[in-house]
């Protein structure tokens, strides 16, 4: 029954291979159940609420991906977007219920886009240099967040930031955890991020920096958030919605196509069952917002499962099952996330992963290079992903137009550029 439903023979796979692949993918991405609650709880969102929402979003999206789209791709709340969520709450003085409202609206729009051809239009219209600039800028943003939370860098009046006190216990543990995880990554150990966190946690426990009340516990009760949808419109948070939407679309689409190509599932350059695949993360985003987490996306860590032999949706089903089991370990995860030294190395290393696209930018063409550079520079320095995106959409069509290449830019880019310009002049986000 399982073999037939997932067409295992047609994909030269087996139940055993898919189970191993599922475990491999889970181990490489399970860090999100620690890191995501740690980031969102830093701005007041109840930890246990984020923990359950993270798992609900992961299970929902991954099951849709596995059963209906039948791809070995896992879905969960995305890194970068969670940091952006926290920065908006912290810098704009708005309640997290209001920002969850923007996530929910973005999720609904995402669902509508996934059912139409607009998603394909948007992906083809936005230039590669802007896409890669956005991804890389987010990478620097979350790496800086890791450096700051660990105490490796600290505020300084003269230079804004400077090197922290490397003798502080938390900072020493952060550096040790980073070194351990880097070694595991260099040795290509499956689940290196997870095992790096685990080893760091053991050291933290040995030096009385980490304490556990209980290991296994009854899962927290999931609660629907009272989303402040009205506050989204009264505060004019359209740029925030657009930022969530844009980054999720690019991240998810690129990851799905990349992992599918790796698995040999692309057919003549086409992406079979694309609509159901794209709906997976869109529905997970809307559902996650209702329970209390930032937008979901496809995880590039799925490639580890594909490398282990995963070729069908059964891999994703196994991942979803393992996330479900994780709800019984909220006590351990809560304790681990309360020690920044454990999660900071993950933020720094994931930031490095997101810089890959820089190699694909044409740095010799100024009108291509500068918009990407402006995005990458602006995001970490302003602590705002949406500001970085706005700068990119404004500078790209402007430079193309004055370079005599106006016709090479899709009309939709001019429209977005104008909207962002108006937004930054009259409705700036701080």
pLDDT in tens, 140-156: 888 888 898 899 999 88
- State which H helix or E strand residue 162 sits in: strand 160-163
Whether residue 131 contacts residue 372, with contact meaning beta carbons closer than 8 Å, is answered with no
Residue 222 lies in a domain: no
Full residue range of the structural domain in which residue 244 is found: 2-215+228-349+360-426
pLDDT digits (tens, 9 = 90+) for 347-390: 888 888 888 889 989 999 999 999 999 999 998 888 777 788 88
Q: Which residues, including other chains, have CB under 8 Å from residue 113's CB and lie 6 or more apart?
A: 119, 122, 245, 249, 282
Residue 331 confidence (pLDDT): 79
CA angle 142, 143, 146 (to 5 degrees): 90
Residue 286 confidence (pLDDT): 93
Residue 270 confidence (pLDDT): 66
Q: Which residues, including other chains, have CB under 8 Å from residue 233's CB and lie 6 or more apart?
A: none
Round to whole Å and give the CA distance between 50 and 392: 32
Calculate the alpha carbon distances from 223 to 10, 62, 200, 262, 287 in Å.
Answer: 42, 21, 32, 38, 12
Three-class SS state of 96:
helix
Residue 357 confidence (pLDDT): 82
Residue 136 lies in a domain: yes
Residue 369 lies in a domain: yes
Residue 61 lies in a domain: yes
pLDDT digits (tens, 9 = 90+) for 83-136: 888 888 887 788 899 999 999 999 999 999 888 877 667 667 888 888 888 878
Residue 220 lies in a domain: no
Residue 354 lies in a domain: no
Residue 343 lies in a domain: yes
Residue 223 lies in a domain: no
Q: How many domains does the chain have?
A: 1
């Amino acid at each position: 029954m399982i073999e037939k439903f997932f067409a295992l023979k047609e994909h030269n796979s087996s139940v055993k291979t898919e189970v191993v692949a599922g475990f491999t993918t889970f181990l490489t991405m399970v860090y999100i159940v620690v890191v995501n609650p740690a980031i969102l709880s830093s701005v007041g969102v109840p930890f246990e609420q984020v923990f359950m929402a993270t798992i609900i979003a992961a299970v929902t999206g991954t099951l849709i991906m596995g059963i209906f789209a039948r791809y070995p791709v896992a879905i969960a709340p995305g890194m970068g977007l969670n940091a952006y969520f926290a920065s908006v709450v912290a810098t704009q003085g708005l309640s997290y219920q209001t920002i969850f409202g923007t996530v929910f609206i973005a999720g609904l729009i995402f669902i509508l886009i996934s059912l139409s051809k607009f998603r394909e239009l948007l992906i083809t219209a936005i230039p590669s240099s802007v896409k890669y600039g956005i991804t890389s800028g987010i990478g620097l943003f979350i790496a800086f967040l890791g450096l700051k939370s660990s105490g490796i860098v600290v505020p300084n009046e003269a230079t804004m930031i400077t090197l922290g006190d490397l003798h502080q216990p938390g900072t020493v543990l952060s550096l040790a955890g980073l070194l351990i995880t880097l070694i595991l990554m260099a040795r290509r150990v499956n689940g290196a991020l997870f095992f790096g966190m685990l080893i760091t946690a053991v050291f933290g426990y040995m030096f009385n920096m980490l304490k556990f009340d209980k290991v296994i516990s009854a899962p927290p009760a999931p609660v629907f958030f009272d989303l402040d949808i009205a506050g989204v419109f009264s505060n004019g948070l359209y740029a925030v919605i657009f930022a969530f939407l844009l980054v999720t679309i690019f991240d998810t689409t690129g990851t799905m196509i990349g992992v599918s190509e790796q698995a040999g599932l692309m057919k003549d350059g086409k992406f079979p069952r694309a609509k159901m695949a794209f709906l997976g993360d869109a529905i997970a985003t809307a559902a996650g917002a209702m329970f209390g987490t930032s937008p979901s996306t496809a995880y590039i860590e799925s490639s580890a499962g594909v490398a282990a032999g995963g070729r069908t949706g059964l891999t994703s089903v196994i991942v979803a099952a393992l996330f479900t089991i994780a709800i019984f370990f909220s006590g351990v995860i809560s304790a681990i996330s309360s020690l920044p030294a454990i999660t900071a190395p993950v933020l720094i290393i994931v930031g490095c992963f997101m810089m890959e696209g820089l190699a694909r930018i044409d740095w010799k063409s100024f009108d291509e290079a500068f918009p990407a550079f402006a995005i990458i520079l602006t995001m970490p320095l302003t602590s705002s992903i949406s500001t970085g995106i706005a700068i990119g959409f404004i500078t790209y069509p402007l430079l193309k137009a004055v370079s005599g290449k106006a016709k090479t830019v899709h009309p939709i880019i001019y429209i977005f550029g104008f909207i962002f310009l108006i937004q930054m002049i009259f409705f700036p986000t701080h």
